[in-house]
Chains A and B, each alone.
Chain A
Amino acid sequence: MKLAARVENVTKTYDLGPALLEQPLGGSKQDLNYAPMNADHGRILVRALRGVSLDFPEGDFVAIMGASGSGKSTLLNLLGGLDRPSTGKYILDGIDVSQMSDAELSHVRNQKLGFIFQSYNLIPQYTVLENIEVPLHYRLGYPAIGPKEQARCLAMAQKVGLGERLDHRPFQLSGGQQQRVAIARALVNDPEIILADEPTGNLDSSTSNEIMEMLKSLNQEGRTIIMVTHEPDIANWARRQIVMRDGVVFKEVLTEEVLARHGGVLSVH
């Protein structure tokens, strides 16, 4: 099976600057391996990811779970090409993107990735249609937005059920509608992977289900979806669930197994 993405032994360390004198200096190597935050050569380092290897086959639907500080957001940022790993490789669609320049990485984000955020992140002064258009503005070579592109934006809006509200601005839409605009926007450049960061975090349960239905149908169309969530109900929509803890993969299970073994709830701890 073709891999949409592959993460090989990735680490991510944040340097928070020089340590204060009260901080323990130069702790043993073993300490460093266990503590997510420690001091090294007088600097505070946060080891957010400490060697993560994952494969994402094409057409996969994965939920990444974990408590806050477990490294799940850092992993999503790396997968989304918003950040680069400290060590290790990130192979997206057969290409190693872990050492790419900012401009190259921007192009990868534009062409191969679609983002859905918890807080929708629409541009407030833009209409629905204009928001869906935004990724088209940053294509390689900046081709003009012609009738073909406009038709595609319209098609995407209709696909998410907003064909009637093209001229509305984000503040005129409900949360669920805004998230649907974000989904349309994520799809407009026909990306390899859709990354969703707590896509239902700001929505009530019925709207959440609508959004998840939509993601599920996108997955059934063959799109790879990687979603971060801390809600087990939402995670159960995915095919596979990965639990992060202390910067490493703690558990990796299929949803079928979870539903069978844990009565529908995967224990995070």
Chain B
Amino acid sequence: MSISRLVRIVQLGLKSLMLHKLRSGLTMLGIVFGVFSVIAMLAIGEGASAQAQKQIVALGATNIIIRSVKPVEGSSTDQNAAGSARYGLTRTDFKRLQKTISTITNAIPVRELPREARYLKKAMNCRLVGCTADYQDVNHLKINKGRFISDADQDTRANVVVLAHEVAMELFPVEEPLGKAIQIDSIFYTVIGVTNERTASAGIGGSLAAQDYNKDLYVPINTFRSRIGDEIFIPKQRGMDSEYLELSQITLTVREAKDVLRTADVVRGTIERFHTQKDFAVVVPLELLKQADQLRQIFNIVLGSIAAISLVVGGIGIMNIMLATVTERTREIGIRRALGAKQRDIIEQFLTETVVLSGTGGFLGIGLGLLTPITFRTIRWFTLNFILDTRPGQLSETSRMFSEMEPAVAIWSLPLAFGISVGIGIIFGLYPARAAARLDPIEALRHV
């Protein structure tokens, strides 16, 4: 088809559409909103997943996290002489990993326990974390006051503690925490630092529980071992149950992201060899990142499909109007046929009209879609203000996520939405166009 012919037939289509401006405009509106909702939905999906990805990246894309897992009750657990259940990662595991795997640049042993921290008459249930100096970097902890645990603290097994933001707020609402001593069990620890507030990491894929860093107490792991030890007694209805656990977690940092998955396999193998039971789990944030990516794709497809339904509705609107137009212009079709138009010419004429209609609608929809971030922010501003006005201080987890999310218009969604709208124009235009072309010219000429 030559360009001049294409131009001519598009001009013809525009001319016919301009005859009924209101009708054409309203029909187009269906497509405009369809395209807009496709772009907006995908933008919101992208925004939500970008947020999830940010949280996973916070776990460290080059990290491998190995956690001790308590084996299921009743399965054969190793029992030591004292009869306590023995499981989990050991210091030997830690040394073995650190020494044998060359791609590992950094390894941090971690021991955690829920413990109560006291200061004067205030008390708070916290998570006591025994760790090394590197823990700070790997977990992106920022120090607000004082300093984090140092290697010297490890060597001297100093009774020092770093408080997480929320703990510091709770125990020292007005006082300066640095230099004060807080009590954990029967032992006192000097506060040497306070961390900044840190958003909780999300529990991703079910394999890693959400971690709230704001209720942590950090002590040197050597101090932990000396003061608390590996064996933990848990009170039961009659007597005590005891657990023997050396390390709760080992965090490994791999030199390069491309080595992460292979290193994780080797780590798994290395530990498995020396463990008779399945008492550990390897979490690879990079894998989670990939899972999240898949999840994002599914999310996008679902959201996009919902939006695409509105496009289909728009298409039905077009078909409806075109069928009416064909009836209305039966006479014109008859005239054109008598003057030499082939059936194909008539199909092309009506199809061009629908494509011009849906294409223009798609174009306007893209324009509207590009405004999604602004629209979203405006709506969010109003809703959040409304929540704050009606129930102050009750910003739920969901609304916090909502307030932090930024919709991102995906560039690829623009041609996609435009393509779909034009495709819809063709699909829903074909039937009316064929109906027009199949009219008997004699009947059509007689039509009033």
User: Which residues of A are in contact with B by a Cβ distance under 8 Å?
Assistant: 77, 80, 82-83, 102-103, 106-107, 109-111, 115, 117, 121-125, 134-135, 137-139, 142, 144-145, 185, 189
| Known A102-B342, A109-B339; 19 more pairs at CB < 8 Å | A82-B337, A82-B441, A82-B442, A106-B340, A106-B343, A109-B337, A110-B340, A121-B334, A121-B338, A123-B335, A125-B15, A125-B19, A134-B339, A138-B341, A138-B342, A139-B340, A142-B1, A145-B4, A185-B339
Select B343's contact among A80, A103, A124, beta carbons within 8 Å. Answer: A103
| Complex contact A115–B342 (CB within 8 A) | no
| Complex contact A115–B5 (CB within 8 A) | no
Q: Give Cα A111–Cα B340 distance, bound, in whole angstroms.
A: 8
- In the complex formed, the residue of A with least CB distance to B335 is A121
| Complex contact B340–A144 (CB within 8 A) | no
Select A138's contact among B1, B2, B345, beta carbons within 8 Å. Answer: B345
| Complex contact B336–A134 (CB within 8 A) | yes
| Complex contact B8–A77 (CB within 8 A) | no
Rounded to whole Å, the gap between the CB of B322 and the closest CB of chain A is: 17
| Complex contact B19–A109 (CB within 8 A) | no
Rounded to whole Å, the gap between the CB of B326 and the closest CB of chain A is: 15
Q: Contacts A145-B8, A185-B339 given; indicate if A121 touches B331 (C-beta within 8 A).
A: yes
| Complex contact B442–A144 (CB within 8 A) | no
Interface residue? B344 (CB, 8 A) = yes
Residues of B within 8 A of A142 (CB): 1-2, 5
Residues of A within 8 A of B339 (CB): 109-110, 115, 134-135, 138, 185
Select A115's contact among B15, B331, B338, B345, beta carbons within 8 Å. Answer: B338
| Complex contact A106–B341 (CB within 8 A) | yes
Q: Give Cα A121–Cα B339 distance, bound, in whole angstroms.
A: 11
- In the complex formed, the residue of A with least CB distance to B4 is A144
User: Which residues of B are in contact with A by a Cβ distance under 8 Å?
Assistant: 1-2, 4-5, 8, 15-16, 19, 331-332, 334-345, 441-442, 445
- In the complex formed, the residue of B with least CB distance to A195 is B338
Residues of A within 8 A of B340 (CB): 106-107, 109-111, 135, 138-139, 189
Q: Show 17 residue pairs from A and B whose CB-CB distance is below 8 angstroms, ordered by the A residue.
A: A82-B337, A82-B441, A83-B442, A103-B343, A103-B344, A106-B337, A106-B342, A106-B345, A107-B342, A109-B337, A109-B338, A134-B336, A134-B339, A139-B340, A142-B5, A144-B2, A189-B340
Rounded to whole Å, the gap between the CB of A20 and the closest CB of chain B is: 23
Rounded to whole Å, the gap between the CB of B406 and the closest CB of chain A is: 49
| Complex contact B335–A137 (CB within 8 A) | no
Q: Give Cα A109–Cα B15 distance, bound, in whole angstroms.
A: 25
Rounded to whole Å, the gap between the CB of A86 and the closest CB of chain B is: 15
| Complex contact B441–A125 (CB within 8 A) | no
Rounded to whole Å, the gap between the CB of A194 and the closest CB of chain B is: 13
Q: Give Cα A246–Cα B445 distance, bound, in whole angstroms.
A: 24
- In the complex formed, the residue of B with least CB distance to A73 is B442
Residues of B within 8 A of A102 (CB): 342-343
